[in-house]
Amino acid sequence: MKNIAVIGAGTMGNGIAHTFAQSGFTVKLIDLSEKSIEKGMMTIASNLDRMVAKGTITEEDRAKTIGNIITYTDLKDGVTGADLVVEAATENVELKLNIFRQLNEYCSHGTILATNTSSISITQIASVVTHPERVIGMHFMNPVPIMKLVEIIRGYNTTDNVTKIIMDLSEKLGKVPVEVNDYPGFVANRILMPMINESIETLYNGVAGVYEIDTVMKLGMAHPMGPLQLADFIGLDVCLAILNVMYDGFKNPKYAPCPLLVNMVRAGKLGVKSGEGFYDYSESKKAEKVSAQFSK
């Protein structure tokens, strides 16, 4: 298994492509938007430059990694001949089902089809594929090149052989694969999202402010990042989508998203990606910080 196709050049997609390419695999990075492809490749180059500066990799390693990536804006051309396809599109059920319908048409029956979904049922995604036993979840963590964990999620029909291939492959990437079963949120988000949601509820109820809540969790629980800041980095729209999947799947009110989260997403305050969430990431705010540093 040497030829990997990655669908989606966004944060997760370019990170997955980077990781495979750095491990010596030939990677086809696919996105319908040329602009997204360019942005994704710039991110990969920037991350590799950072690794060179830290002495983690050499200039030769950087060049080889970039050279291992080929970009496509046509899905059929991109996935043709791939041994493994990793879908890393937006966390939207209908979008993913549509992509897998096309993969069923374009890929050979021997191609393993993986999805990087963080909460959507693997079994549901596999239901639109002729051979559902080859569909599996590979839930990478962000930032992909750095984070070690990969949740390997078996759908109802996923075979032992396909699971073993993907577990072994993840180890070749220098990751630590953990096999889990196909239930809403899997393990990572089933535990993480209720914590984030409860943090938002705590803010919503006026118990404490953003800074105070995050400080308690960082200093009191030794979390490297507070839950509200983490939500901003994940994307509040993504957090909302995952909570909705779990709420729909379990019909348990403990997974119901906080009204404050719903309203913030409706208002377009999505976190880092939009420039504002629980914190302000706008250019003007950055300028204020720089000005304050020089005025000291």
What is the tens place of the pLDDT at every residue in 97-106?
Answer: 999 999 999 9
Q: What pLDDT is attached to residue 80?
A: 96
Tokens of 25: 């695999």
Which of 14, 104, 139, 274 is catalytic? The answer is 139
For the cut 60, the answer to whether the pLDDT of residue 288 exceeds it is: no
Is position 151 annotated as part of the catalytic site? yes
96 is in an annotated binding site: yes
For the cut 70, the answer to whether the pLDDT of residue 286 exceeds it is: no
For the cut 90, the answer to whether the pLDDT of residue 253 exceeds it is: yes
pLDDT tens per residue across span 153-203 = 999 999 999 999 999 999 999 999 999 999 999 999 999 999 999 999 999
35 is in an annotated binding site: no
pTM above 0.75, yes or no: yes
Could you give the residue range(s) of every CATH 3.40.50.720 domain in the chain? Answer: 3-181
- Of 96, 159, 158, 151, whose CA–CA distance to 128 is shortest? 96
Q: Which fold has domain 190-290?
A: N-(1-d-carboxylethyl)-l-norvaline Dehydrogenase; domain 2 (1.10.1040)
Q: What pLDDT is attached to residue 282?
A: 87
38 is in an annotated binding site: no
More confident residue, 243 or 291: 243
91 is in an annotated binding site: yes
209 is in an annotated binding site: no
Is position 189 annotated as part of the catalytic site? yes
Q: What is the sign of the dihedral through the CA atoms of 81, 20, 72 and 63?
A: negative
Could you give the residue range(s) of every CATH 1.10.1040.10 domain in the chain? Answer: 190-290
For the cut 50, the answer to whether the pLDDT of residue 295 exceeds it is: no
Q: What pLDDT is attached to residue 126?
A: 98
3-181 classified as CATH 3.30.479.10: no
Which of 151, 199, 274, 276 is catalytic? The answer is 151
Distance CA 243, CA 184 (A): 9
CB 186 within 8 A of CB 139: yes
pLDDT tens per residue across span 191-240 = 999 999 999 999 999 999 999 999 999 999 999 999 999 999 999 999 99
Is position 118 annotated as part of the catalytic site? yes
Distance CA 131, CA 113 (A): 10
